[in-house]
Structure 1
Amino acid sequence: MDPHTITTLAELEALYATPAAPSLAKEVDYLHPHYRAFVEAAPLCLLSTVGKDAAECSPRGDAPGFVQVLDERTLLLPDRRGNNRIDSLRNIVADPRVGLLFVIPGINETLRINGTARISVDPALIARCVVESKAPVSVLVIHVEAVFFQCARALLRSRLWDADTQRQRNELPSNGEILAALSRNAIDSAAYDRELPERLRTSLY
């Protein structure tokens, strides 16, 4: 084994200083009104799950408030249209533990929520999530177990919101180019890229 690999909690804790009081005080097991404000302002959250075979993290986004607060310990997250891989949902069936990271444009602090989720097809809950007359196939009902804000350091270091750090999409391989390479040209790169904008426009919901 690599002698530089940390394998025990004792070794890990010896590397880091004891957390300062604010780092511990910020965590609660319910959605305080101040934290609720972050959830309701966020147009994007990252959903992490863990299943029998793999951990997974994927983005969830819509207009601010798309993650609904049912009460101080319950959130409702619609499963909007996607690629039908349902990786996150497969994991939740196997293991209900989830983590969410809420991101608000222009704000360097993020909000972290840990808890458990269940997949529901309750018509009343789905009806709450209808957008442009389109209903999600299912919704996640998330039980909140821990909530705390993440300090601004990561986003400050990344300069995520700075205009001069924004990249043009054509600086990186296109979706079509990636798919063509991985499928050994079974997927037509040019056709995929040409049709993608319209496909996205008509399939958001």
Structure 2
Amino acid sequence: MTGRFAKLTYTPSVLEIQQKMGSNAANRLRFSPDEVEALTEDEAAFIAQRDSFYMATVNEDGWPYIQHRGGPAGFLHVVDEHTLAFADVSGNRQYISTGNLASDDRVALFLMDYPHRTRLKLLAHAEVTPWSEASEDLRQALPLGASGRPERVITLHVEAFDWNCPQGITPRWTSDEILESSVGDRLRELEQQNARLRAQLSAATLGQTQS
């Protein structure tokens, strides 16, 4: 964990619990706690491969709210080393996350790679811009899903990030990931074998009928 992420998450109550539990987490830090963190090529590549993420906001009463966002791979677009953006499309019209951001612009994101049991956590300030008022260059850079129409652009100004250990992450695969894996190769091989056996059985049945 970096010093910046720890500064934002290791509040006095957290540090007190760490001390009581004999944890040395606060001593395993790197980089300056006052330096806004820059995304590296590793984070940018990881983000570009994701087709979903979880975003937490907080309402006026202090209650957290987590929303799952999905789209084509890379729909969470890396603008630069400090900035991300995505198109917020029409949905169930509850606008809970959008309403929360009107009073508190802080967000936390979880980006998951289930097959490799990898998780990237991000803390950021969100800037909400109506779709029609966003720059043409930014709108063109944001991949859009098949469902819903874009209503706004949410730009995330990254403050800090942290990579998690794989503990507790259950491996899961999408259908596309399965087809691209060795399991997919085996499935295609079995389908080909099945097709050959069907053809042989059909030929044998036809020969018996003709005789």
TM-score bracket for the superposition, by shorter chain length: 0.5 to 0.7
> Structure 1 residues 135 and 150, CA, compared in 2 at 3 Å: closer, same or farther?
same
User: Quick one: distance in 2 between partners of 1:49 and 1:160?
Assistant: 26
2:59 maps to 51
CA deviation map 1:155-198 (0-9, x unaligned):
0xxx34289xxxxxxxxxxxxxxxxxxxxxxxxxxxxxxxxxxx
1:149 maps to 163
Structure 2 unpaired stretches of 5+:
1-11, 175-211
Structure 1 unpaired stretches of 5+:
1-6, 164-205
2:100 maps to 91
1:138 maps to 152
Q: Are residues 1:39 and 2:67 paired?
A: no
Q: CA contact under 8 A between 1:78 and 1:139: conserved in structure 2?
A: yes
Q: CA contact under 8 A between 1:43 and 1:103: conserved in structure 2?
A: no
User: Quick one: distance in 1 between partners of 2:25 and 2:13?
Assistant: 19
- CA shift at 1:25, angstroms? 3.8
User: Quick one: distance in 2 between partners of 1:141 and 1:10?
Assistant: 31
Q: Are residues 1:115 and 2:102 paired?
A: no
TM-score, L = length of structure 2: 0.64
Q: Root-mean-square deviation (CA), in Å?
A: 2.8
Where in structure 2 are the equivalents of 1:1-205 lying within 5 Å?
8-9=13-14, 11-13=16-18, 14-19=20-25, 24-25=29-30, 29-53=37-61, 54-121=63-130, 122-124=134-136, 125-129=138-142, 131=144, 135-155=149-169, 159-161=170-172
> Structure 1 residues 38 and 86, CA, compared in 2 at 3 Å: closer, same or farther?
same
User: Quick one: distance in 1 between partners of 2:154 and 2:21?
Assistant: 38
Give percent identity, aligned residues only.
Answer: 25
Per the alignment, in what secondary structure is the counterpart of residue 37 of structure 1? helix
User: Quick one: distance in 2 between partners of 1:81 and 1:75?
Assistant: 20
- Rg (Cα) greater in structure: 2
> Structure 1 residues 85 and 17, CA, compared in 2 at 3 Å: closer, same or farther?
same
User: Quick one: distance in 1 between partners of 2:143 and 2:171?
Assistant: 31
- CA shift at 1:15, angstroms? 1.3
- CA shift at 1:18, angstroms? 0.5
TM-score, L = length of structure 1: 0.65
- CA shift at 1:11, angstroms? 4.0
